Amino acid sequence: MEPQQTSEFFREVFYIHYPTVRRKLVGLVRDEAAAEDLAQEVFLRLYRNPPDDPSVMGAWLHRVLTRIAYDYLNKKARERALHEKQSLHILSTEEDQPSNEQILMRQLDQEEMREWLEELPERDRKALLLRYSGYSYAEIAEQLQVRPPLVGTLLHRATERLRRHAEAQTQAHAQIE
């Protein structure tokens, strides 16, 4: 075909098939603006590389618009997944990385807790440290060489002594300030 005939042919195909192509794309991608852009892409491909047999134009356009729509949907799904992954990473990074103030406060709390634990009798201190290190009551009983039923009472009493000591220290601090 000559350039003039090609332009006329393309224009005619465009006016006949554009409404159908656009409607099918809207149905597939569920986005009017995206469907407009994708329809332009379909007709750009038609202009660059038309089918050899003009009688199969409808099928050719349907195959191309379907492929373009699925490519678009896959791209959007990948973008969504990436965005969600980045959002989760940002949230987990913010949660995982405490501020310098939080780090300092945690260190001070740990130092204060160590001092308070040092004030407790050795058996109480050892029982609490074992429990908060994840040891079971049976393992604590074995370490402290006591009967397993006594571990609960021992831990309760040690916790109460620690709490009372911490309260006393906190009140003493408050009176000084």
Quote the pLDDT of residue 95. Answer: 58
Quote the pLDDT of residue 85. Answer: 83
Nearby residues of 120 by Cβ (< 8 Å), 6 or more positions away: 128, 158, 161, 162, 165
Structure tokens at 93: 């990074």
- Range from 38-42, 53-57, 120-124 that averages highest in pLDDT: 38-42
CA distance 36 to 64: 15
Quote the pLDDT of residue 155. Answer: 87
Confidence at 62, pLDDT banded by 50, 70, 90? very high
- What separation, in Å, do the N-terminal and C-terminal C-alpha atoms of the chain show? 96
Confidence at 73, pLDDT banded by 50, 70, 90? very high
Q: What is the number of residues in the chain?
A: 177
CA distance 29 to 26: 5
pLDDT digits (tens, 9 = 90+) for 2-36: 667 778 888 999 999 999 999 999 999 999 999 99
10 Å Cβ neighbour count for 61? Answer: 23
pLDDT at 93 over 60: no
pTM: 0.49
pLDDT digits (tens, 9 = 90+) for 133-156: 888 888 889 888 999 888 889 889
Mean pLDDT of 77-84: 89
Proportion of the chain above pLDDT 90, given as a percent? 37
Quote the pLDDT of residue 12. Answer: 92
CA distance 47 to 42: 9
Mean pLDDT of 96-123: 75
pLDDT at 109 over 80: no
Quote the pLDDT of residue 91. Answer: 64
Mean pLDDT of 34-55: 93
